[in-house]
Structure formats: structure tokens, C-alpha cells
């Protein structure tokens, strides 16, 4: 079993990469069985619209992404509040406000395996109020209803991601981080068997400031003046793809290999 996890898909550039021949060939070359992607930045850098959900999902005979996770920007568009209850594969953070619609953990089936996907959000330097992620994850772990359990921890700090992974080492299959848009080079299998990487990185513009046009970001940082964050969609910026392939032993359901993928076009 090979599962591809894709870092935050950002704006039009990120969506185009997912629909590109490069992505199709990548899946074919590595014989990918399941694709999970974080899509909270898919629509103009914040949120995901119904239109862009369909675009990233792809046609029924050629599914692009099997399951979509998110983070603090998931409900940037009001329409997503309805969409998330109408589709089976779009998640919001499990430990976010309990009044938020949609699931925070789902099960999908591939190759006769039950694969649980859980989406969590961090509490350090994060604007969204959230329940303690340890409490939320433990409740799901106690269900013991999966063969493989994947966790997308959408969090700001490296220590926060490392600590959660180590706490539940051996009790979940994989924990990967999202949110910072910068791929880390610390992929490893922890002592009790859980695979871990601090951040998958971002799939979107390559030469902005974590996806955004640098002019507005620099204006805010240098001059302390308000400026709108917009995706960096310069024609010369062909984008980047960041993701990680986790290969599982079909007999033990343990990760046996981790491969980072980083491509600047």
C-alpha cells in the first residue's frame, strides 16, 4: 500500500499542478493507492469553494484526490458549511469548535484495508479556538476500528507536532504536519513504529511568501500597514509540488518507507 500525502494546495497554481500531467505521472510511477491532500488554501489562498472542491476531486473515472483535510481557513467561504455535510471526503479539524459542521475523522476503504483519516488543529499561535488535540485524538484511537490511521496535524510549531507524534507513537500509523507551507527534512519512523514528518510543505506558487504575493506581505512587515494577502500568480511562477509517499507493509500495516517529493517547475 502506498499513500501520498500532499501539502497545502494554494490557489490557482496549486490546483493546476494537481490537474497536470506531472501529477498523473507521479501517481502512476509510484503506484499510488490513496491520495490525501490539505485543501484549506485552495480558493484564492483561503478556504475551498464548491467549484474548487469538484475541480480537485476530478471526474468519477479519474479521481485526483481521495480525501481532503483542512485547517483554520476551512470555512472562509460560507458555502463550505453546506458542502462539507454533502460530500463524504472533506474534513475540518476534529478538535475545532464543536458547532462546526462536517467530520473531523473518516474511514475510507482501499485494497481491503480500513484507513482512518483524522484532521487536527494545533493550539499554539493559532487563531481558531480548539479543544486539546490530545483529548480529541485519544477518543478516536480508542475506537480501534481501522487497519491504518493517518493524522494531519495542522499546527504552527515544530515542537507541537513532534510532541503529539511521540505521545501516540505506536498507536497511530502516520502523523504529518501541515500549515507552515515549508517542507521539512525530518521524515522518520519513530521508535514504536509511527511514521512522522513535521511538515509536508505546500503545493502552489514557488516564489511568493509561502504562496502569497510578496508585495503585500512585505508592506505589512516593513511598514506596519494593512495589505491584502493574494496568491502569487505571476506568469513566471510555475509553482511547486510538495508531498510525501508512505509505503506500508500489507501484512503488518506498518510504514516501511518514507519518500519526500519536492518539485519546482
Known catalytic residues? 73
Measure the CA–CA gap between 116 and 160, rounded to whole angstroms: 22
Question: Which three three-digit cell numbers place residue 231?
Answer: 496568491
Measure the CA–CA gap between 45 and 19, rounded to whole angstroms: 17
Q: Listing from the earlier edge strand, what are the strands of the sheet with 34-38?
A: 67-69, 34-38, 2-6, 240-248, 255-264
Give the Å distances, CA to CA, from 262 to 96, 98, 179: 30, 36, 16
CA atoms within 13 A on the CB side of 198: 14
- CB-count exposure of residue 189 (10 Å: 0-12, 13-18, 19+): middle
In this structure, the dihedral spanned by the alpha carbons of residues 89, 95, 98 and 103, taken in order and rounded to 10 degrees, is 10
Amino acid at each position: 500500500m502506498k499513500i501520498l500525502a500532499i501539502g497545502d494546495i494554494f490557489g490557482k497554481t496549486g490546483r493546476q499542478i494537481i490537474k497536470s500531467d506531472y501529477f498523473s505521472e507521479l501517481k502512476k510511477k509510484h503506484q499510488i493507492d490513496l491520495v490525501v491532500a490539505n485543501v484549506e488554501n485552495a480558493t484564492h489562498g483561503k478556504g475551498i469553494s464548491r467549484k474548487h472542491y469538484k475541480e480537485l476531486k476530478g471526474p468519477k473515472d479519474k479521481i485526483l484526490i481521495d480525501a481532503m483535510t483542512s485547517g483554520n481557513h476551512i470555512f472562509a467561504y460560507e458555502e463550505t458549511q453546506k458542502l462539507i455535510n454533502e460530500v463524504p471526503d472533506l474534513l475540518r479539524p476534529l478538535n475545532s469548535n464543536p458547532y462546526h459542521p462536517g467530520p473531523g475523522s473518516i474511514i475510507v476503504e482501499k485494497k481491503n484495508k480500513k484507513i482512518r483519516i483524522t484532521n487536527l488543529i494545533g493550539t499554539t499561535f493559532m487563531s481558531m479556538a480548539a479543544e486539546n488535540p490530545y483529548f480529541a485524538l485519544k477518543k478516536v484511537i480508542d475506537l480501534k476500528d481501522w487497519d491504518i490511521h493517518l493524522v494531519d496535524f495542522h499546527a504552527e510549531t515544530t515542537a507541537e507536532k513532534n510532541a503529539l507524534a511521540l505521545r501516540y507513537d505506536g498507536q497511530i500509523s502516520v502523523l504529518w504536519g501541515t500549515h507552515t507551507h515549508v517542507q521539512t527534512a525530518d521524515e522518520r519512523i519513530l521508535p514504536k513504529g509511527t511514521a512522522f514528518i513535521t511538515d509536508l510543505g505546500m503545493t502552489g506558487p514557488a516564489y511568493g511568501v509561502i504562496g502569497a504575493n510578496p508585495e503585500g506581505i512585505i508592506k505589512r512587515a516593513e511598514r506596519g500597514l494593512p495589505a491584502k494577502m493574494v496568491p502569487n500568480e505571476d506568469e513566471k511562477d510555475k509553482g511547486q509540488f510538495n508531498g510525501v509517499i508512505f509505503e506500508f507493509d500489507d501484512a503488518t500495516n506498518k510504514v516501511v518507507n518514507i519518500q519526500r517529493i519536492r518539485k519546482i517547475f
